[in-house]
Chain A
Amino acid sequence: MVRFLAGKGVQYALVLLFAVTLNFMLPRMMPGSPLVFLAGEDVGFLSEAQRTELLRSLGLDQPLWRQYVQYLGNLATGNLGYSFQKGRPISEIIVERLPWTLLLVGLALLAATLIGVVWGTLVAWRRGSAFDLGSLGISMFFESTPSFWLGMIFIAVFAARLRWFPIFGAQTPGVSLAGWAMVANTAWHLALPLATLTLITIPGNFLIMRYSMLTVLGEQYIATAKAKGLAERTVIYRHAMRNALLPMATVVMLNLGFIASGATVIETVFSYPGVGRLLYEAVLNRDYPVIQATFFILTVSVIAANVLADLLYPLIDPRVRHAR
């Protein structure tokens, strides 16, 4: 167990180092000058000395390796850097954005997992029925649909045409709300992005649950339970579903890792102020420090989820614990 975890530790450290290095190199290799984003549109009127001074004051005139060392040092001390464009520390920006992403993706995963589990279980029990085949068809359809397209259709129909839901944002801007009104307003803005993200996340969960359930149902003890004359409900929920949930647990854990990244497209379509959208905007604006920090945070969250899954899995599945 210890050796296993140590090995995993090395692996994750490698991932982190790779991400951090890539993270540092890529934005700097991008064509284009960061000056316009530092100094605004009129940078063409600056004198050479003024440009140099601007770059120097921001540390961008240093040799690459020194910038890199500085970058690593900052990360190690939890300093994510400073956004020149926004004129603010990045940790502050991320702290603002992260809750929205957590809310959106957390709820989507919760909903998608619940629906996927229940649906997968029911379908597996009626394997081969019209319900099963229909469910397979529908889930494959949503699995194959571009998420941004689904989001666009939702906006076109439910927001622009029917006006049931708002078109952008996480809350009505400029309105101070508190208590229930705030919750309701937030939920109202969340509805469409949440629905989209949930719809495209369900099929994966559904298919795994169905598959896992089918495997369990084929095993001896289920047949025994059935033979003992236990009620169908008891067999499904007490015996089959509990065991089928094991692989599901891993999947959910690993899905957690994408909590901060999977919703990039959805956040963009719905102008939802999350971390994924922050990354996208930063890439478009060439806001180097924000690109780095956001990508770093996303990678760390993926790794954290993986570590969590590795630690929890043996606890959930006794077979794994004994095997190691």
Chain B
Amino acid sequence: MSTVTATAESAPVRVRPRRRRLGVVGVVGLALLILLVGSAIFAPWIAPYNPEESSGNPFAAPSRLHPLGTNDIGQDILSELIYGTRISLAIGFLAAIVAISIGTLIGTVAGYFGGWVDAVLMRAVDVVLVIPFLPLMILIAAYVGPSFWNIILVIGLLVWARPARVLRSQVLSLKSLDYIDAARALGAPASRILRLHVLPGVLSLSLAQFILAASNAILIEASLSFLGLGDPTAKSWGSILYYAQVRSAFLTGAWLWWVLPPGLLITLAVLGFAFTGFALEEVLNPRLRGMS
């Protein structure tokens, strides 16, 4: 049992279903992702209105003009949600890039060099893994202040530890492979071995970890935004929920069209990423494959 890591929510463990190929789970996940990425890219063509524009009366109920009603300053909620896909996915992807860059670097270096380098780096990973995650997040988010890039940085800086650990063990198993052993014996410089032999073996797994980190990031961003620690001027799904909450949507009937849809979208996006990630991880991680 490896050390268990905390995700944004309290459920601390992700376990992979056992499948050899991408399978149904992976296909469903990919389909969800494609759908969401599609609507993010084509938002201007799909969305009925400019979400920044007050196109109706404030707090209007759904109608033919505004299928999901309007928000507190008369902006079309459906258009907000469609454009929100852009912000939410962007935060997910960018935070995951930060996390995976750090994670890959640290995991690879630790695994490859071993010894005290490994010991020091893994201690750091342990420290990050043990610290209460969400409170730390709230603390830092409150400190750096709410902006699009700060949120990305905060999330990225806190979710790199799990990928680092996974990638390190991958490097360890790669290191014992004959051809890398041979290269080392022949005295090839570490940077060259890392670049030519280790990194390619690690990259595919990084991809799976990247996608899992992205799903985590989306969930975290939503939670931070809801707590009022996100960027309230960026129309992410989380900030749409924030406004729904502060403008009493669940006291009026508005929660049906103002609270439910963004929450479902977050869930779908997280599911899409998670499914794809798990499926990829299994296809790509030889160790997991050996276990089934």
- A contact residues around B251 at 8 Å (CB): 160
CA distance A265 to B132 in the complex (A): 13
Q: How far is the CB of B273 from chain A (nearest CB, A)?
A: 9
Q: How far is the CB of B70 from chain A (nearest CB, A)?
A: 19
Q: Judge if A216 is at the interface, Cβ distance under 8 Å.
A: no
Assess whether A255 is in contact with B12, with CB atoms less than 8 Å apart: yes
Main secondary structure of the interface of A (DSSP, over half): helix
**A30 with B143, Cβ < 8 A, contacts A156-B259, A160-B250, A279-B138 known:** yes
* Residues of chain B at interface, number, CB under 8 A: 53
How many residue pairs bridge A and B at CB < 8 Å? 175
**A136 with B17, Cβ < 8 A, contacts A11-B126, A153-B255 known:** yes
Assess whether B223 is in contact with A284, with CB atoms less than 8 Å apart: no
Chain B CB within 10 Å, residue with most, of A204, A211, A268: A204
Q: Judge if A115 is at the interface, Cβ distance under 8 Å.
A: no
Residue of A nearest to B273 (CB): A144
Task: Please tell me which stretch of B59-67, B196-204, B260-268 contacts chain A, meaning at least 4 of its Cβ atoms lie within 8 angstroms of it.
Answer: B260-268
Q: Judge if B219 is at the interface, Cβ distance under 8 Å.
A: yes
8 Å CB contact of A15 from B130, B238, B262: B130
> Please, what's the 1-or-0 string for B1-25, where 1 marks a CB less than 8 Å from any CB in chain A?
1001010011111111110000000
Can you show 26 pairs from A to B with CB atoms below 8 A apart? A29-B143, A105-B10, A140-B271, A140-B274, A141-B271, A143-B274, A144-B271, A145-B270, A146-B223, A146-B267, A200-B10, A201-B10, A204-B15, A215-B291, A251-B4, A258-B132, A260-B132, A261-B132, A261-B135, A262-B10, A262-B134, A264-B134, A279-B138, A280-B227, A283-B138, A295-B139
Assess whether A15 is in contact with B131, with CB atoms less than 8 Å apart: yes
Assess whether A149 is in contact with B241, with CB atoms less than 8 Å apart: yes
Assess whether A306 is in contact with B130, with CB atoms less than 8 Å apart: yes
Assess whether A146 is in contact with B222, with CB atoms less than 8 Å apart: yes
CA distance A291 to B132 in the complex (A): 13
CA distance A250 to B16 in the complex (A): 18
Main secondary structure of the interface of B (DSSP, over half): helix
CA distance A148 to B126 in the complex (A): 28
CA distance A125 to B289 in the complex (A): 22
Q: How far is the CB of A23 from chain B (nearest CB, A)?
A: 8
CA distance A20 to B7 in the complex (A): 22
- A contact residues around B227 at 8 Å (CB): 148, 265, 268, 280
CA distance A299 to B11 in the complex (A): 17
Assess whether B131 is in contact with A299, with CB atoms less than 8 Å apart: yes
Q: Judge if A72 is at the interface, Cβ distance under 8 Å.
A: no
CA distance A160 to B15 in the complex (A): 36
**A148 with B226, Cβ < 8 A, contacts A15-B126, A207-B14, A306-B130 known:** yes
> Please, what's the 1-or-0 string for A7-42, where 1 marks a CB less than 8 Å from any CB in chain B?
000011011001100100011011100000000000
Q: Judge if A298 is at the interface, Cβ distance under 8 Å.
A: yes
Q: How far is the CB of B289 from chain A (nearest CB, A)?
A: 14
- A contact residues around B140 at 8 Å (CB): 26
Assess whether B12 is in contact with A204, with CB atoms less than 8 Å apart: yes
**A19 with B131, Cβ < 8 A, contacts A29-B143, A147-B9, A147-B223 known:** yes
